[in-house]
Structure 1
């Protein structure tokens, strides 16, 4: 297994752009990156269904793109950002894969390679940018990688702060989200922690189901059989689905067609 495939061909790039409802950008510049970043989150859900359907997750660019294009699916950070990196490279962006550790609710950091994010340099040199379409509820647009002040986004106020060890902390509304290493990585570097995320009883991905997508007015999330629709700052509608409604909800809200309902297996 390799960490990076060759560039996506023109037909695959066109199919990927159709999948996210985007036009082929006239140039690999910052404005186009912003548009692609937003369109990806509006179209491709953050989801961990494969873990609970017994499906393999192959950290190889062509397989990740196939999952999004051929299977109409989404994925979690390794998959979404791994595939997005392939699209951006094919469009002329310089993309570096970076590893991060996610801050838990207790303020403790997760394991190494807990998260995958991207440093992107547009062809016109208007960067670098931190692109991340695989962190669930996160910034709608890329963050300026080298800016240290407040960066306002529809999802909140973000900051990129340097740590004493040379890493970068990403904060949203003053709450630390993840700690980003600056050393370039390859997809294969994330395989061990990806396996841990899929199999360990300590992994929150193993403990729960999630399928979530940004919408034009907020977000739609299906956690097991609980459907949550949010709009604006205060609008929230939550509904418990019946057994016969779950597969239809995946189709309607996420375009995901399943032949059986994913369920969380009992933890050992």
Structure 2
């Protein structure tokens, strides 16, 4: 990324250029990203290609003012952090299902980020309702966060387990990966009838008050101080207006579920 691209990305998330790759700078960038760039799977249901290259992901997030799912959001964020001087390692993770079983390899992309003043952090702006701030990588105790109480615990084969409010979220493999390694995982989540991304429509971001706004199909949910309010949108015009108002996403048509058939 050149200087112009970096500045455009920072304007996209509403923050200035940090003076140095410090822990506080990482925290500020992480929270600003969550507040500005939504977690969304609209491309899956709009029939749009998802290209896992740094250039394509930054173009989507910055120029097209869209969001994405984990590979896209954390992939783009990694490009920004690297350009700002942070030491970034891409990690693959397996997300736990409702039965407590880890999913496929390369199910999720998370980031290990080293700052110049206080070591390594687990950064993740692509997991939906998750931590608002990076988690201390080497801390095995409870870590309080606006998004909940988190813990990074040891797991077999030198993996790490990320836990939120007592419930395991995902299992992290500590070996460094390249963005291209996640191509098969992204393809699975775009095409498999077993993927939760093909079974639902979602667009969600953290709000300035620390709450969350989510549009799932035609259901708009806002959470403020733990209180959830839902509204059902009746028309396509209302849906498109909600995408624009709450997420800054301008669409020509309402996304419709495109559920793949089993063969």
TM-score by structure 1 length? Answer: 0.95
> Which residue, out of 98, 101, 107, partners 1:114?
107
Please tell me whether the aligned partners of residues 90 and 176 of structure 2 are also in contact (alpha carbons under 8 angstroms).
Answer: yes
Q: Where does 1:22-33 land on structure 2 (aligned, <5 Å)?
A: 22-33=15-26
1:194 to 152, 171, 186: 186
Q: Deviations 1:138-174 (Å, cap 9, x if unpaired)?
A: 0010000011001100111100001121100000011
Match of 1:64 in 2: 57
Where does residue 177 of structure 1 map in the other structure? 169
CA 1:116–1:266: 2 relative to 1, 3 Å: closer
Unpaired runs of 5+ residues, structure 1, are: 1-7
CA distance in 2, matches of 1:42, 1:35: 11
Distance in 2, matches of 1:59 and 1:250, equals 24
Task: Look up the match of 2:159.
Answer: 167
SS of equivalent residue, structure 2 residue 153 = strand
Alignment of 1:1-268 (within 5 A): 8-124=1-117, 126-217=118-209, 218-233=211-226, 235-243=227-235, 244-268=237-261
Deviations 1:66-99 (A, max 9, x none): 0011111000000000000000000000000000
Specify the SS of the correspondent of 2:158.
Answer: coil
Residues in 1 aligned to 2:8 and 2:244: alpha-carbon distance in whole angstroms = 20
- Aligned-partner Cα distance in 2 for 1:266–1:24: 41
Structure-2 change in CA distance of 1:259 and 1:172 (3 Å): same
* 1:185-228 per-position Cα deviation (integer Å, ceiling 9, x unaligned): 00110001110100000000011100001002200000000000
What's the offset of the Cα at 1:123? 2.8
Runs of 4+ residues over 6 Å off in structure 1: none
Contact 1:92 1:123 in 2 (8 A): no
Structure 1 pair 160–266 and aligned structure 2 pair: CA distance change class (3 A): closer
- How many residue pairs are counted as aligned between the two chains? 259
Change over 3 Å in CA distance of 1:89–1:266 after alignment to 2? closer
Report the CA distance between 1:265 and its aligned residue: 2.0
Distance in 1 separating the partners of 2:206 and 2:72: 17
1: CA distance between counterparts of 2:163 and 2:21?
27
Pairwise CA RMSD: 0.7
